[in-house]
């Protein structure tokens, strides 16, 4: 009831309109901007804006002597729903472009396309040449041939208001092979001079070549070469198979699949799924990948580093699996050092020294054979389960502040304040095992 006093208008509607306008502006400025992912993490900002607007409304009503507006009006609720629907639409749009970057999601139904084949004369190049493949928009597929010839195939697609304009646009675009100081470059000419033109490249190179492939919008696939492979894409997937030297993938979104690499592998940037196997050198992943991440059979050192995990594994004949909440490691012949937070850890059969540090996650460690190297496990706010063969030799010191320690092995137990402790020397007392945690239970299990 307002006692005859006029009701002060709310600023919430204006704030929501400003937010909606900003979203459309960003979408127009960069349609591939991952606004939905930002909204998914920071959606509480909507509640904060709502609260700030209502606080300003309340203070303004007090100063003007008017009745404060209701908590939310019908029009404001409709605007909120509209903002959420816009964000959901942008998320769907981003997802489709991410999974199918070759699809042109042009919202103008009156646009028409024209397509023509890429026509480039075959070129014979020296053995061991470095070849750079570039397209601003389009997929790049590169595979090894049986000759010293560089063959370029593919197609060009233009999208314009009518078919005639699209055909005229394609007349300006051609693909060329350019000799440079460090090798050869294959790239379109006039691809970005007005209008949208997609140039997909299908390249056959000599087997002993090295290849660098770069596309802003599209997938990259490289296979069969004996030289180095380097793939870069801003919006698309990367596949590298069966190369005789190092392989590198840099990306902003999309999946990565790499296997059968005679050298080392490096993956950098941001993306989704990662599937890597059979690497003869080192394996390095740097960045944020939403997963799942699966790495198998790496001859040398595997290093995975992100905001929430820093993992180093030596000589992993098994696999490393990461998803949003768990990390699994199996069959590591050398040392393993795992540092993470907010993730559960499941580790099996580490042959070298094992170091684990976790926060807000449970840790499970198991050995099929008696361990021969030191084990150090430090956890905060989580439990620890360690399973060892009955015939193992070791010396263990375990304590849990605010928790409990339970053991299938004989040893001495005591409690200091709220910290249960367990110590035991089994057999020769080598290696040493140290386990600490807070607010969690430590279990030492004995397997047959």
pLDDT truncated to tens, each residue of the chain (448 aa)?
445 555 555 666 666 667 666 766 665 555 555 555 555 566 676 677 667 766 776 676 666 666 666 666 666 667 667 767 766 666 665 555 555 544 544 444 446 888 999 989 999 999 899 999 999 999 999 999 999 999 999 999 988 778 888 888 888 889 999 999 999 999 999 888 766 789 999 999 999 999 999 999 999 999 999 999 999 999 999 999 999 999 999 999 899 999 999 999 999 999 999 999 999 999 999 999 988 999 999 999 999 999 989 999 999 999 999 988 899 999 999 999 999 999 999 999 999 999 999 999 999 999 999 999 999 999 999 999 999 999 999 999 999 999 999 999 999 999 888 899 999 999 999 999 999 999 999 999 999 7
Q: Of the candidates 99, 132, 150, which is a domain's last residue?
A: 99
- Which tens digit of pLDDT belongs to each residue from 16-36? 667 666 766 665 555 555 555
pTM flag (> 0.85): no
Q: Please list, in sequence order, all residues whose beta carbon lies within 8 angstroms of the beta carbon of residue 410, skipping any fewer than 6 positions away.
A: 424, 426
* pLDDT attached to residue 92: 63
* pLDDT attached to residue 90: 60
166 shares its domain with 189? yes
Name the residue with tokens 């690499």: 261
For 71-75, the CB contacts below 8 A with 24+ separation are: 72/12, 73/10, 73/13, 75/13
Write out the two tokens for 226: 């004996």
Residues in the chain: 448
Does residue 292 have a cis bond before it (omega within 30 degrees)?
Answer: yes
**Is 86 part of any domain?**
yes
Say which DSSP state 69 is in.
Answer: P
Q: Of the candidates 223, 245, 267, which is a domain's last residue?
A: 245
69 shares its domain with 173? no
Do residues 199 and 137 lie in contact, with contact meaning Cβ atoms separated by under 8 Å? yes
Nearest 5°: CA angle at 28, between 253 and 162? Answer: 100
Do residues 181 and 134 lie in contact, with contact meaning Cβ atoms separated by under 8 Å? no
120 shares its domain with 241? yes
93 shares its domain with 215? no
Quote the CA–CA distance of 285 and 34 in Å, as a whole number: 22
- Which tens digit of pLDDT belongs to each residue from 398-408? 999 999 999 99
**Is 271 part of any domain?**
no
Quote the CA–CA distance of 21 and 40 in Å, as a whole number: 19
Quote the CA–CA distance of 427 and 421 in Å, as a whole number: 20
137 shares its domain with 198? yes
83 shares its domain with 202? no
124 shares its domain with 241? yes
Total count of domains within the chain: 2
Which of 250, 339, 332, 346 shows the shortest CA–CA distance to 296?
Answer: 332
Pairing label, strands 283-289, 265-271: parallel
Do residues 247 and 228 lie in contact, with contact meaning Cβ atoms separated by under 8 Å? yes
**Is 140 part of any domain?**
yes
Quote the CA–CA distance of 269 and 289 in Å, as a whole number: 8
Do residues 282 and 303 lie in contact, with contact meaning Cβ atoms separated by under 8 Å? yes
**Is 155 part of any domain?**
yes
120 shares its domain with 63? no
Quote the CA–CA distance of 377 and 213 in Å, as a whole number: 43
DSSP symbols for 416-444: ETTEEEEEEEETT--SEEEEEEESSEEEE
Name the residue with tokens 């094992």: 354
What's the burial of 198, exposed, middle or buried (CB within 10 Å: 0-12/13-18/19+)? Answer: buried
Which of 275, 274, 303, 308 shows the shortest CA–CA distance to 289?
Answer: 274
25 shares its domain with 134? no
Residue 299 has φ and ψ, to the nearest 5°, of: -65, -40
78 shares its domain with 113? no
61 shares its domain with 153? no
Quote the CA–CA distance of 257 and 219 in Å, as a whole number: 11
**Is 190 part of any domain?**
yes
Q: Of the candidates 207, 225, 245, which is a domain's last residue?
A: 245
**Is 329 part of any domain?**
no
Residues of the domain holding 92:
12-99
* pLDDT attached to residue 160: 77
**Helix 44-64, helix 12-29: angle, nearest 10:** 140
- Which tens digit of pLDDT belongs to each residue from 155-213? 999 887 788 888 888 888 899 999 999 999 999 998 887 667 899 999 999 999 999 99
**Helix 12-29, helix 35-42: angle, nearest 10:** 140
CA dihedral 354, 357, 361, 367 (to 10 degrees): 10
**Helix 12-29, helix 74-99: angle, nearest 10:** 20
**Is 18 part of any domain?**
yes
What are 145's strand-pairing partners? 206
121 shares its domain with 186? yes
Nearest 5°: CA angle at 108, between 79 and 96? Answer: 70
**Is 231 part of any domain?**
yes
């Amino acid at each position: 009831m307002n006692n005859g006093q006029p009701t002060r208008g709310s600023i919430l509607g204006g704030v929501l309109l400003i937010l909606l306008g900003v979203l459309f502006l960003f979408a127009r400025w960069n349609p591939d901007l991952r606004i939905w992912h930002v909204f998914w993490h920071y959606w509480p900002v909507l509640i904060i804006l709502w609260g700030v607007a209502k606080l300003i409304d309340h203070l303004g009503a007090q100063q003007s002597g008017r009745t404060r507006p209701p908590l939310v009006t019908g029009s404001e609720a409709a605007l909120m729903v509209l903002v959420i629907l816009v964000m959901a639409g942008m998320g769907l749009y981003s997802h489709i472009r991410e999974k199918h970057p070759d699809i042109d999601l042009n919202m103008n139904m009156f646009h028409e396309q024209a397509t023509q084949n890429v026509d480039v004369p075959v070129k014979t190049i020296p053995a061991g040449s470095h070849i750079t493949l570039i397209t601003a928009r389009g997929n790049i597929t590169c595979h090894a041939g049986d000759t010293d010839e560089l063959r370029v195939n593919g197609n060009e697609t233009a999208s314009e208001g009518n078919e005639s304009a699209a055909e005229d646009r394609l007349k300006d675009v051609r693909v060329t092979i350019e000799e440079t100081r460090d090798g050869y470059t294959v790239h379109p000419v006039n691809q970005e001079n007005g209008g949208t033109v997609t140039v997909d490249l299908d390249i056959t190179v000599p087997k002993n070549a090295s290849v660098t492939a770069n596309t802003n919008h599209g997938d990259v696939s490289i296979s069969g070469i004996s030289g180095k492979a380097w793939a870069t894409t801003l919006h698309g997937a990367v596949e590298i198979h069966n190369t005789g030297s190092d392989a590198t993938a840099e990306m902003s979104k999309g999946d990565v699949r790499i296997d059968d690499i005679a050298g080392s592998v490096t993956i950098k940037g941001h993306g989704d799924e990662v599937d890597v196997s059979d690497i003869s050198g080192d394996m390095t992943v740097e960045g944020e990948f939403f997963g799942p991440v699966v790495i198998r059979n790496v001859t040398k050192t595997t290093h995975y580093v992100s905001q929430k995990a820093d993992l180093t594994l030596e000589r992993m004949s098994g696999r490393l699996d990461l998803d949003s909440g768990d990390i699994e490691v199996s069959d590591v012949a050398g040392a393993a050092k795992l540092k993470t937070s907010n993730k559960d850890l499941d580790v099996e059969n580490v042959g070298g020294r094992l170091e684990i540090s976790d926060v807000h996650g449970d840790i499970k460690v198991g050995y099929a054979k008696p361990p021969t190297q030191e084990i150090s496990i430090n956890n905060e706010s989580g439990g620890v389960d360690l399973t060892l063969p009955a015939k193992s030799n070791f010396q263990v010191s375990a304590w849990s502040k605010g928790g409990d320690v339970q053991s299938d092995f004989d040893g001495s137990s005591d409690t200091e304040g709220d910290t249960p402790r367990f110590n035991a020397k089994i057999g020769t007392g080598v290696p040493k095992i140290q386990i600490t945690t807070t607010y969690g239970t430590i279990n030492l299990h004995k397997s047959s």
